[in-house]
Structure 1
Amino acid sequence: MTNAHPIHVGAVDLGASSGRVMVGTIADGRIELTETRRFANGPIPLPGPGGERLYWDVLHLWDEIRQGLLAAVRDVGPLSAVGIDTWGVDYGLLGPSGLLSGQVSAYRCPRTRGVPEEVFAAIPAPEMYSVNGLQVQDFNTLFQLVAESRDGGLPRATPADGGVVSAAGAGSAQRTMLLLPDLFTYWLTGRPVAEITNASTTGLVDARERAWSAPLLERLHTELGVDLDGVLPEVVEAGTVVGPVRRDVVDVFDPDGRPTPVVAVGSHDTASAVAAVPAAGSDFAYISCGTWSLVGLELDAPVLTEASRAANFTNELGVDGTVRYLKNVMGLWVFNEAVRTWREQGLELSYRELDAAAEAADPLRTVVDINDPVFFNPGDMAARIDDFAIRTGQPRPRSVGEYVRCIDDSLALAYRRAMREASELSGKRVGVLHMVGGGISNRLLCQLAADATGLKVVAGPAEGTALGNIVVAARGAGLIEGDLTALRKLVRNSSDITEYAPDPAAAAGWDAAERQLFG
C-alpha cells in the first residue's frame, strides 16, 4: 500500500511495574521504534474491610498516557493510529453517568482469597473449564467480580429469590465493566467495548464462540447471586477501530489533521507479543520471556479436555481467530528477586557479570522446580534454592554463578516440560521455538532452552509486545494489509534475530535431570 504521509503508530504498553508509550514508524517494509515516555507503575496499598487492599492508580496512568501521546506527536509526528495493551484480568467499573465508580483493584489484592472454592462449590471446575478453557488463578476476573458483588459494588441477587436484586445491591445497578485497556480506550474515544484477547482472561468468555457465555452468566446469577446483566460491554475482535481520539480529551491528530483512530489491538500484552512472533510457518512454539514465562502454542481451536484442565493449561484467545494455548511458568522473577537480595546484602554485580558466572558454572548441578509455590512471593531466593536442594538430595550452589545457573537450568527444564505437555495435549507437532521479550538478552537461557527442548530457538524481537500492538493497529486502521503471516514478516524484517541450535550431546543430561526431579 502506498502512503502519502509517513505512518506513525502510537503503542501504549502498560505493565504491572512500568508503562511506556512507543511510536512505530513504518516505512520501506520496516518498523522503527521510538520511545516517547516511560513511567513507573505499581499497586498502592490502602486499608480496607478485613485488612489491606491493593489498587492501581489509574488516574496517574491516564495522565502518563496523555502526556506520552502528546510527546509522540511533538517528537515524532502526527499519529495515524493508536493501540493500547496491558496485563489481563483487572477492570474498572463505570457508573450510570459513565464516570469511574470506585477504585480499581489490583490482581494481587487479597479480596479473592477463598472465592474460587466458593464458585466451584456451585459450578464445578470441570464444567467451567469446558466453557472458558481458563486455568484457575484466584485473581481471574470472574472471581474478582464475585468478590465485588459480595462487597456491594455490583447488583446482587439472592439465588433463592428467583433473581430479584437485593436491597444491598439495588444502588449498584447500571454498572459497566471495562478491562484496563478498554477503560483507557473508552476515555480516549467515549465508546465502551471489550477486546476479545483480554476478555478471554476473565473466565466469562466461551472459548469456542469468542463471546460472553450466556449460560455461564446465568449460572453465576442463579447459583451465586452475581448479576452481570448489562454490566459487560460489546465484544470486539483485535483490529477493530473503536473510534477517533476525542480532541477535547487529548489533542492528537493524524497527518491530514483528522482525529487519530484508536484500534482495539491484541490488548492483552501477551496477545500482542504472540502476534509479533516472527514465524514463517505454523509449526512453532513460543515463549514470551519476562517476569513470567508464557510457554505455549498458537492453535485454531481451544483444547477443553479434562486432561488439559488437570495439566493447568489455559486457552486465551488471540489475534485473527487464534487461540493462545499456554502455561504460565515462573520466569525471571526468581532471578530478579535473587539479584535484589544480593544487592541489599552489598553484592553489586552487573547482569553481564552474572550471566558470565552462570555460563562458567557446571551445568545441571542443582535443579529446582521453578514453579514450586516457595518461589512465588518476594524474598531471598538463594536461601529457598538451598532449602529445595536439601529437600531433594541435591548439592547446594556454592557461588553466585551457581545460583544463577541453577535458575537458568530450572527455567529451561520447565520450558521443556511445558512444551512437551502442550504438544501432547493439543496434538500439534513443533519444529521451532520462538522466544520474544526482554528475557532474550540472557543468551545462556536461550541456548539452554534449545538444548532442553531439542529445538532450534529463534530469539527476538525483544520489543515483541510493542511491535505486535503496532502492526495490528496499523492494519486495523487500513494503513497496511495482510494476514498474520504478513504482519509477522514485517516484524521479522524489523527485528534483530538470533538463532540457537540445540546440542545433541546435552539431551542425556536433561533426561537425567528431569527424572531426578520429577520421577
Structure 2
Amino acid sequence: MTETYIAVDIGASSGRLILSEKDSSGKIGLEEIHRFKNGFTNMDGTDYWNADHLIKEILIGLEKIKQSGVEECFVGIDTWGVDYCLIDEQGQPLSQPVSYRDNRTEQAMEEFDQLFSLQQLYEKTGIQLQPFNTVFQLLRENREKLAKAKQLLLIPDYLGYVLTGKAVLEKTNASTMQLMNLETRKIDEAVLAAIDVDKDLFQKSVEPGTILGPILKSKFSEYDLPNATVIAVASHDTASAVVGTPGEGDHWAYISSGTWSLMGVEIERGISTSEAYDANFTNEWGVQGTIRFLKNIMGMWLIQEVARMQDYQYSYPELAELASQEEAFVSLIDVNEQRFMNPENMITEIQNYCRETTQKVPETPGEIARCIYDSLALCYAVELEKLERITGRTITQLHIVGGGSNNDLLNQLTADACGINVLAGPGEATAIGNIIVQMVATKGFGTLAEGREGIKKSFSLKAFHPQTNTHGAIEKYQALTKLFV
C-alpha cells in the first residue's frame, strides 16, 4: 500500500497543503492541493496572527484531500519560529498570537542586557541575537496574561495541539526561542529566571519524527476529513528546508531563500565562541541531533514589500527582469538594518537610506529591485566568508533552496559575489523536508541520507557558475554597511 503524506507548510504570507507519495523507484511526487493567504493584522496597536484562520484552512485542505479519494494519510506542520500562543487552564488561547514583527520588542534587548548579559545569553543558547526572539517577546509580554497562562505553545505545536489534543515542544523550533541551553539541550532556568517566566509553561520537548496521533475528527464534525495521523516534523520551516536540501559531504552550505534568507551549514556540535557572537551567527537545532549553524539575513521580504507598495503591479519575475536591465552595484543597502524590518513604506525607506549614504537614489521599479538583489548577493558573500572562517570549513558548493531559488538573476549574482558554484532548487525544499521526516518516521525511508538521495532523484536542479569578479562591489558593501567594525 502506498502511503500518503501531507505537508502543511505555512509562511508569513501564505500557506499550502502539499500531497506526496513515493513510487516504487523511490521518486517523490508533490501535488499542491490547497493554498491560502496568511498575514498579521494590527488590532489596537498590536500586530496579531490569526491562528483560527490557519486551523480552518488546514481543515479545508484536508477535506479537499479526502474528496480526492485519500482515506488515510500522515500530516506534518511547519511554520516560522519564535512566535507562540498562551493557553489557559481550559486549554483555550488567551489571545491570538502576536507577530514577531510587532514593535513591542523595540529596545527589549537593551532592557534584557540590564538583567542578564547578552553575551552570556548567547554563550548559553548559541542563538543569534534578534529583538523578536521569544525570550525578548516574553520579557515584554503582558504580565496579567502571562499569569493566566498554563501553557506556552509555539505556532506549529499549537496547530498540532488543536488538531490532536497533544501538546509538545518540538526541538528544532524550540531552539529559536533563545531559551534552550546549547549543551544540555534543555530549557535554561537561569535565562527564564531573568525574565520571570515559569518553567511549567513549557511542554516536554520531542524530536522531529515523533508521532502525535490522529486528528480528532469528532471535534471537527462539520468537515469530511480523512483518517489523518499528525507527526511532529522539523516544525521550524528552515529546519525542514535544510532536510530538503540535497547536500552531501562536509563542504556544502545552504541558503534557504524565502521571506528570510538563512545561510549556513549543518554541523554536529554548536559554536558559541566570541567570534560567532560578534558575527551574530545562530545555532538552531536540526534533525537527528544536528545543528544548523546559520545567519538570518533579511531576504525576499524586501522585494515582497516593494511589490506590495506598488499594488502588485509587477510580479516577482517581472521585477527580476526589470532589475536585470539596470546597471549593477550602483545603489546598495545594508539588508539587515533594523529600519527594513517592518517600515511603513519599503520603497521610501530604501530611497532614504541611499540618500542618507550619498548614493544614487533608485527611482524606477527596476532600479529599486536591482538595489535589493545586488545588496543581498553581496551580503551573502560577506557572510559566507565569515561562515568559513568561524567553522574552519572550505565551502565548495552552495545550495539555494526555497522560493528564492527560482530567481535566476539573484542566483547568478550570488555565484559571482561568492565566487562559488551555486546549485538552485528544489523550490519546495521546506515541504519536501517536512515530508522526508514523515517518511523516515514511518519507514518510507530508512535514513535521512536515503531521503536526500530521493530528492536528487526526484527534482531537477539548476547550476550557476561564477562569471564576473565582484571584489570591488564587496568592498563597497563592507564599507557602506560597516559589517566589519
Could you tell me which residue of structure 2 aligns to residue 167 of structure 1? none
Could you tell me which residue of structure 1 aligns to residue 403 of structure 2? 438
1:43 aligns with 2:40: yes
SS in 1 for 2:33: strand
Could you tell me which residue of structure 1 aligns to residue 238 of structure 2? 270
**TM-aligned CA deviation for residue 451 of structure 1:** 0.6
SS in 1 for 2:176: coil
Could you tell me which residue of structure 2 aligns to residue 166 of structure 1? none
Could you tell me which residue of structure 1 aligns to residue 382 of structure 2? 417
SS in 2 for 1:363: coil
1:240 aligns with 2:204: no
Q: How does 1:75-474 map to 2 (within 5 A)?
A: 75=68, 77-148=70-141, 150-155=142-147, 172=148, 175-217=150-192, 219-220=193-194, 224=195, 226-250=196-220, 252-253=225-226, 259-343=227-311, 348-397=313-362, 399-474=364-439
| Whole-Å separation in 2 of the counterparts to 1:120 and 1:443 | 42
1:479 and 1:80, CA in 2 relative to 1: closer, same or farther beyond 3 A? farther
So what's the TM-score if we normalise by structure 1?
0.86
**TM-aligned CA deviation for residue 390 of structure 1:** 4.0
1:201 and 1:512, CA in 2 relative to 1: closer, same or farther beyond 3 A? closer
| Whole-Å separation in 1 of the counterparts to 2:367 and 2:49 | 37
Map Cα deviations across residues 153-182 of structure 1 (whole Å, 9 max, x no partner).
234xxxxxxxxxxxxxxxx36x01111111
* Structure 1 unmatched ranges of 5 or more: 156-171, 254-258
1:481 aligns with 2:477: no
SS in 1 for 2:32: strand
| Whole-Å separation in 2 of the counterparts to 1:515 and 1:120 | 28
1:31 aligns with 2:28: yes
Map Cα deviations across residues 333-354 of structure 1 (whole Å, 9 max, x no partner).
222333333458xxx4454443
| Whole-Å separation in 1 of the counterparts to 2:209 and 2:111 | 37
**TM-aligned CA deviation for residue 360 of structure 1:** 2.8
**TM-aligned CA deviation for residue 267 of structure 1:** 0.2
SS in 2 for 1:154: helix
1:511 and 1:334, CA in 2 relative to 1: closer, same or farther beyond 3 A? closer
| Whole-Å separation in 2 of the counterparts to 1:334 and 1:229 | 37
Q: Which amino acid aligns with 2:146?
A: L
Q: RMSD of the alignment, in Å?
A: 2.2
1:18 aligns with 2:14: yes
Check the 8 A contact 2:254/2:400 in 1, yes or no.
Answer: yes
Check the 8 A contact 2:375/2:477 in 1, yes or no.
Answer: no
| Whole-Å separation in 2 of the counterparts to 1:236 and 1:445 | 37
**Greater CA drift, 190-199 or 355-364:** 355-364
Q: Which amino acid aligns with 1:55?
A: Y
SS in 1 for 2:393: coil
Identity %: 39
**TM-aligned CA deviation for residue 109 of structure 1:** 2.8
| Whole-Å separation in 2 of the counterparts to 1:462 and 1:268 | 17
**TM-aligned CA deviation for residue 23 of structure 1:** 0.9
| Whole-Å separation in 2 of the counterparts to 1:106 and 1:515 | 31
| Whole-Å separation in 2 of the counterparts to 1:142 and 1:352 | 37
1:457 and 1:365, CA in 2 relative to 1: closer, same or farther beyond 3 A? same
1:45 and 1:351, CA in 2 relative to 1: closer, same or farther beyond 3 A? closer
**TM-aligned CA deviation for residue 125 of structure 1:** 0.8
Check the 8 A contact 2:101/2:342 in 1, yes or no.
Answer: no
Could you tell me which residue of structure 2 aligns to residue 9 of structure 1? 5
Q: Pick from 494, 508, 513 the counterpart of residue 458 of structure 2.
A: 494
| Whole-Å separation in 1 of the counterparts to 2:309 and 2:164 | 44
Map Cα deviations across residues 184-233 of structure 1 (whole Å, 9 max, x no partner).
1112222111000110111111122322223433x33xxx4x24132110
Check the 8 A contact 1:70/1:252 in 2, yes or no.
Answer: yes
Q: Which amino acid aligns with 2:17?
A: V
**TM-aligned CA deviation for residue 430 of structure 1:** 1.0
Q: Which amino acid aligns with 1:264?
A: A
Q: Rg: which structure is higher?
A: 1
Map Cα deviations across residues 391-446 of structure 1 (whole Å, 9 max, x no partner).
44433446443332222111100000111112212222211100011112210100
Check the 8 A contact 1:337/1:379 in 2, yes or no.
Answer: no
1:304 and 1:351, CA in 2 relative to 1: closer, same or farther beyond 3 A? closer
**TM-aligned CA deviation for residue 382 of structure 1:** 4.5
Q: Which amino acid aligns with 2:11?
A: G
**TM-aligned CA deviation for residue 99 of structure 1:** 2.7
SS in 1 for 2:296: strand
1:295 and 1:487, CA in 2 relative to 1: closer, same or farther beyond 3 A? same
* Structure 2 unmatched ranges of 5 or more: none
**TM-aligned CA deviation for residue 511 of structure 1:** 4.4
| Whole-Å separation in 1 of the counterparts to 2:453 and 2:78 | 21
1:494 and 1:201, CA in 2 relative to 1: closer, same or farther beyond 3 A? same
Check the 8 A contact 2:307/2:315 in 1, yes or no.
Answer: no
SS in 1 for 2:288: helix
1:214 and 1:398, CA in 2 relative to 1: closer, same or farther beyond 3 A? closer
SS in 1 for 2:389: helix
**TM-aligned CA deviation for residue 122 of structure 1:** 1.5
Check the 8 A contact 1:450/1:502 in 2, yes or no.
Answer: yes
| Whole-Å separation in 1 of the counterparts to 2:103 and 2:320 | 36
SS in 2 for 1:365: coil
| Whole-Å separation in 2 of the counterparts to 1:384 and 1:295 | 25
Q: Pick from 453, 469, 481 the counterpart of residue 506 of structure 1.
A: 469
Check the 8 A contact 2:234/2:286 in 1, yes or no.
Answer: yes
Q: Which amino acid aligns with 1:9?
A: Y
Q: Which amino acid aligns with 2:21?
A: T
Check the 8 A contact 2:331/2:360 in 1, yes or no.
Answer: yes
So what's the TM-score if we normalise by structure 2?
0.92
Check the 8 A contact 1:81/1:474 in 2, yes or no.
Answer: no
Count of residues paired in the alignment: 478
Check the 8 A contact 2:42/2:48 in 1, yes or no.
Answer: yes
Could you tell me which residue of structure 2 aligns to residue 71 of structure 1? 64
Map Cα deviations across residues 299-330 of structure 1 (whole Å, 9 max, x no partner).
11111112212222111111111111111212
Check the 8 A contact 2:215/2:229 in 1, yes or no.
Answer: yes
